[in-house]
Structure 1
Amino acid sequence: MENNELVSISQGALAIMNPTTPEKVLAAGRAAGLRKGSRIVEAGCGNGTILALWGREYGVSGVGVEAREDACSRAEETFRTAGLGDAIAVRCMDARAYVPDDLFDCAIAIGASHIWGGFAATLDALLSMVTDEGTIVIGDRCWGSDRTPPEFAREWPEVLTEYEILGVVREAGLDVAAVIRASDDDWDRYESGIWQSLLSWLAENPGHPERELVIDYLHRLQEEYFGYSREHMGWAIFVLVPGFW
């Protein structure tokens, strides 16, 4: 079973596939200065929920880029249902291969830094998609402190502390306009939603040849969460704007 299929099984039913809320997503949009006429691109748009929220609230238009075909279909339906089918399109492809015809006012990647392999590479990729005055919104994991036990930190070499993220942002010539962190309740709700989706799939597929793989995946996620992620791992949306340098 490919990783994309595991993601679809475990998170496909989640409206927002990250430990955050619609209210926090809308707050990120306000901090990014979104308004009617703003053009947005989202890498790894999943089910399209975030773009739909911004489209309804701020009147933005744009493009969602997503590699998983089932998620692309759900995103298209999300935009149609929200009355945004003419304003927001879906490109069903690897975001690493996406080259916009015109630069955007804002580029976002919420929980999608794995596409490029980390925060810094994601920031570079998104900067190539926006105008000189464009804003960037990245939602990503981060260590709660620089005192994370090494045996845990080694499991996630691409994860940075918030202070390291600040350094990456400033090196790129940007400033942080806002940080909107996941709460413990956000984390619990998100992780529990994943476990429930996996358990439902297992109940519905008792004879599937890769059932044991899915069981192992469920148990590994839970062991990581209760073992160290719940205590040491953070998650936040970072709103980045052109800096005064």
Structure 2
Amino acid sequence: MDIAELISISQGTLAIMNPTTPEKVIAAGRAAGLREGNRVVETGCGNGTILALWGREYRISGVGIEAREDACRRAEQTFREAGLDDRITVRCMDAREYVPDEPFDCAASIGASHIQGGFAATLDALMGLVTDEGSIIIGDRCWRSDRTPPEFAREWPDVLTGYEILSTVREAGFDVAAVIPSDGNDWDRYESGIWQALLSWLGNNPCHPDRDFIIDYLHRLQDEYFGYGRDYMDWAMYVLVPGFW
């Protein structure tokens, strides 16, 4: 099954496709200094919920970049229903190919570092989208410590520890203004939402040729989560600002 289709099946119905909450998303925007008149770009914007939250709370304008056509349609609907479609738009394209007409005040990638190939590559790409004074928000997985068992760490070669993320940020000339982590409830709600979406798809597609694949995928996700995800994996939004040196 195509990865885009799998993401749409497993996470397309989630309001926020990450283990976080609207309150934490708004807090990240506050730490980034978002205010009325700011222009924000989000790569991998999914169904547009995060930009809509910032649009309502801080009256920003902006652009969401999303490659999946079904997600683009949902994002357009999200902005329209929030009364933001005159200020926030969607570009349905590969974020790696996006070149803005002018730099933004803030660039975000919330749970979408896989697009660029990891945290460092995502940070580098977002730096190219903002002004010299612009802020960056990256939501990503991280290991809780450097003592993660190798057999688990090998499953996620692009995941860094929190300290490795800090070092990467500083090397790029930025400082961490805030870290807004997920908690156990956020993770349980997010993972459970994925499982329920997959189970719903299975119930609605009893004869689909990819049925066995989806069953295996569901069980693999659950094995990972209960086997080591709860113990070793974190997720957080990192709010980054230009360093003072």
Asked if these proteins are the same fold (TM beyond 0.5), I'd say yes
**1:114: which partner in 2?**
114
1:177-196, aligned counterparts within 5 Å?
177-196=177-196
Q: Using the aligned pairs only, state the percent identity.
A: 77
CA deviation digits over 1:30-61, x for unaligned, max 9? 00000000000000000000000000000000
1:22-171, aligned counterparts within 5 Å?
22-171=22-171
Q: Which consecutive unaligned segments of at least 5 residues does structure 2 have?
A: none
How far apart, CA to CA, are the structure 1 residues paired with 2:116 and 2:62? 21
**2:239: which partner in 1?**
239
How far apart, CA to CA, are the structure 1 residues paired with 2:109 and 2:159? 15
- SS of the aligned residue for 2:225 comes to helix
**2:224: which partner in 1?**
224
How far apart, CA to CA, are the structure 1 residues paired with 2:14 and 2:103? 30
> 1:230 Cα shift?
1.0
How far apart, CA to CA, are the structure 2 residues paired with 1:4 and 1:175? 33
> 1:180 Cα shift?
0.3
- SS of the aligned residue for 1:76 comes to helix
How far apart, CA to CA, are the structure 1 residues paired with 2:2 and 2:55? 32
- SS of the aligned residue for 2:18 comes to coil
Code of the aligned partner of 2:182: A
CA deviation digits over 1:62-118, x for unaligned, max 9? 100000000000000000000001100100001001111110000000000000110
- SS of the aligned residue for 1:64 comes to strand
TM-score, normalised via structure 1 length: 0.99
How far apart, CA to CA, are the structure 2 residues paired with 1:242 and 1:170? 9
TM-score, normalised via structure 2 length: 0.99
How far apart, CA to CA, are the structure 2 residues paired with 1:98 and 1:219? 36
Q: Which consecutive unaligned segments of at least 5 residues does structure 1 have?
A: none
- SS of the aligned residue for 2:14 comes to coil
Code of the aligned partner of 1:76: E
Name segments (4+ residues, structure 1) moved above 2 Å: none
